Structure 1
Amino acid sequence: MQRPPTHPRSVLFLLHLRLAVPSAQRAQRQQQASRFSTTQSNDAAKSKSKSKLPSSSLHNDLASFRRYATDVDLPVDTTVYVGTIYEYTVLRVLSRLGMLLTRVGGRDDRGVDLLGTWSPPPALPSRPALRIYVQCKAERARAGPKFLRELEGTLGTTATRPLGILATSGFCTPGMRRHMQLSRMPLAYCCVEPREEGGYIKQLIWNAAAAELIGNRVRATTKFVPTGEVGEDGEEEIRMEAVLTVDGQPFEPVEGTIEDKGGVHGDVQGDAQGDDVQGIPT
């Protein structure tokens, strides 16, 4: 049996239908790809915005930085968060010793995270204020001599003779002790244990070149401090904390240089190129 002839208009309709369907599918796929690309671009922009540190006016201590990190959803396990928290912790701890410091950390910090001065205690009125350069390393692993060499390189570019302090969360290694003893640069090592309340100093040592600036009457020792926490045996736990003494007496910082909240104290001008900071306002 023969099939009836197909009408020419039917052939044209079927051909048009076959061409139109793929074109519609291609248009739909292009539209989906465009939306996906736009979403990716927006997500990348948001991620970049969140990971970028703001100017120092947006945070200047532990509390303000934690608020900032919460506002921009900065993950607590990023190097930016961990490093900045540790820098502010070290600033707060060293301020209890009478150091007037400001945070200058960033990509172009030239190895200096904190910068400022340290006035002698009232028992040593004749000694001038020291220029202080602090490098902070929030390293989980034990720090090595390479960090001291980095700090020495920065100190060597200054016109003055500042005291360089390397602050880490671990104790000084034998290799670092030997390096400090042989160095002609004034170097100090500070082991700072971070805590929610601001941390504390576990170890503080310096070399002979630093002793010439600090003075032989100033010593570092340790004391036992109650933590306020009860251990498994029911007794209050204690910790060893490094402190400074002058002629065997507790180190008393210059009055007016420490604030209760331990933020940035005063307006310390200058950079890592040796611009002098004249004393500490009282």
Structure 2
Amino acid sequence: PSAVHHTSTTNVARTEIPRLLVKPGSSYHNSLASFLEHAARSNLLPNRTIYIGTHYEYTVAEALLRLGFSLIRTGQKNDAGIDLVGHWMLSVFREPMPVIIQCKARENKCSPVEIRELEGAFHSVPQDWRNKDVLGVLVSPARASEGLRKQMYLSRRPVAFLQISRSGLITQFLWNRAAAERGMEGVGVTPRYTVLPLAAVNIPVRCRDANGRWVKGSNPPVRIQKPQVRTVVTDIQLTWMGTPIFPDKEGLALET
């Protein structure tokens, strides 16, 4: 998509999102919502590999909007290992950073082999990017293994790793020296803590029968709140030279 985008700490810089001519991964859906509708219409079951992979790719694309990524889903058969492609829009960059993303929707940790596969995907970047510094990103619900880290740091390609849960929570972001030298120097991450609103808890009224056993009572469940129960969600916050930065999502669409 092409739109005006800006990132802010205290001031605002406006950047035009470059147009990108690539073939979408599907003609039936272009967002998580439209994919879920398509899956329901076509009776695609959630336990199918294609469902799990596509759902995760759209979840990753939506989650990365918060960090300023504008992405198109290209994942399909014979996709050359590129599931998402687009630009990372931060005003601290000299220009929007081209990115290719591989998504691994499995719970076990990725191995060094996946980094080597990501390196191979650089040969299939869009033609217009052949002479540009492109960032390759590997995304998984599991944390980076020690072997993966070592392989990533040894790579001469600018590569990064993101841990994103199946629900879209971003909890780890690592990159190598080559990525820092090609525009990411000064970018950092820090933990972000979000306290969720107190949730009401349904507790049914229960009583004992003639034999002293607990049974559900005839009264309806009582809705109460437990003030002592709080849920804190931890994810990451981008920084620039140690100062938090907040990419504005205005103009970035959920549709890829």
Decide: shared fold, TM above 0.5.
yes
Q: How does 1:96-111 map to 2 (within 5 A)?
A: 96-111=66-81
* Structure in which a larger fraction of residues adopt helix: 1
Q: Which runs of 4+ in 1 moved over 4 A?
A: 229-233
SS of match in other structure, 1:235: coil
Kindly tell me the number of residue pairs found equivalent between the two proteins. 203
Q: Provide the residue aligned with 1:130 in structure 2.
A: 97
Q: Give the number of the structure whose residues are more often strand, by fraction.
A: 2
User: Aligned in 2, Cα 1:166/1:234: closer, same or farther, shift over 3 Å?
Assistant: same
Give the aligned residue type for 1:108. N
Specify the alignment match of 2:255 in structure 1. Answer: 263
Q: Is 2:177 the partner of 1:208?
A: yes
Distance in 1, matches of 2:37 and 2:235, equals: 29
Distance in 1, Cα, partners of 2:34 & 2:152: 35
1:59 paired residue number: 29
Q: Which has the larger Rg?
A: 1
Counterpart-to-counterpart distance in 2, 1:202 and 1:147: 19
SS of the equivalent of 1:96 reads helix
2:153 partner SS? helix
The answer (yes or no) to whether the contact 1:185–1:209 under 8 Å persists in 2 is: yes
Instruction: Work out the CA distance in 2 between the residues paired with 1:241 and 1:96.
Output: 11
Cα drift, residue 254 of structure 1: 5.3
CA gap of 1:146–1:245, structure 2 versus 1, over 3 A, is same
| Higher RCO by CA contacts (8 Å cutoff, separation 6 or greater) | 2
Gaps of 5+ in 1: 1-53, 265-282
2:110 aligns to what?
A: 143
Residue number in structure 2 paired with 1:117: 87
Report if aligned partners of 1:97, 1:251 keep a CA contact under 8 Å in 2: no
Deviation string for 1:177-205 (max 9, x for gaps)?
A: 1111111110110000122xxx1201111
Aligned equivalent of 1:172? 144
In the aligned structure 1, how far is the partner of 2:25 from the partner of 2:60?
20
State percent identity of aligned pairs. 35
With the length of structure 1 as denominator, give the TM-score of the two structures.
0.67
Q: 1:67 to 1:229 in 2, by over 3 A?
A: farther
- CA change 1:221–1:75 in 2 (3 A) is same
C-alpha separation between the residues in 1 aligned to 2:243 and 2:70? 22
Q: CA deviation at 1:229?
A: 5.9
SS at match of 1:202: strand
Matched residue, 1:234: 228
Q: Distance in 1 between matches of 2:51 and 2:236?
A: 26
Q: C-alpha separation between the residues in 2 aligned to 1:186 and 1:238?
A: 33
Match of 2:192 in 1: 223
Deviation, 1:154, is 1.2
Q: Give the residue type in structure 2 aligned to 1:245.
A: T
CA displacement at 1:96 relative to structure 2:
1.6
User: 1:138·1:169 contact (CA, 8 Å) conserved in 2?
Assistant: yes
Report the secondary structure of 2:101's partner residue.
strand
Structure 1 vs Structure 2 CA RMSD: 2.2
C-alpha contact 2:187 2:238 (8 A) present in aligned 1: yes
Does the CA contact (< 8 Å) of 1:83 and 1:138 recur in 2?
yes
Q: Are the aligned partners of 2:80 and 2:121 in contact in 1 as well (CA < 8 Å)? A: yes
Mapping of residues 75-114 of structure 1, within 5 Å:
75-114=45-84
CA–CA distance in 1 between the matches of 2:166 and 2:183?
25
Deviation at 1:255, TM superposition (A): 6.1
Partner residue of 1:6? none
Residue equivalent to 1:10:
none
User: CA shift at 1:252, angstroms?
Assistant: 2.4
Deviations 1:194-242 (A, max 9, x none): 22xxx12011111111112233221112111224465999321112101
2:35 aligned partner, one-letter code:
F
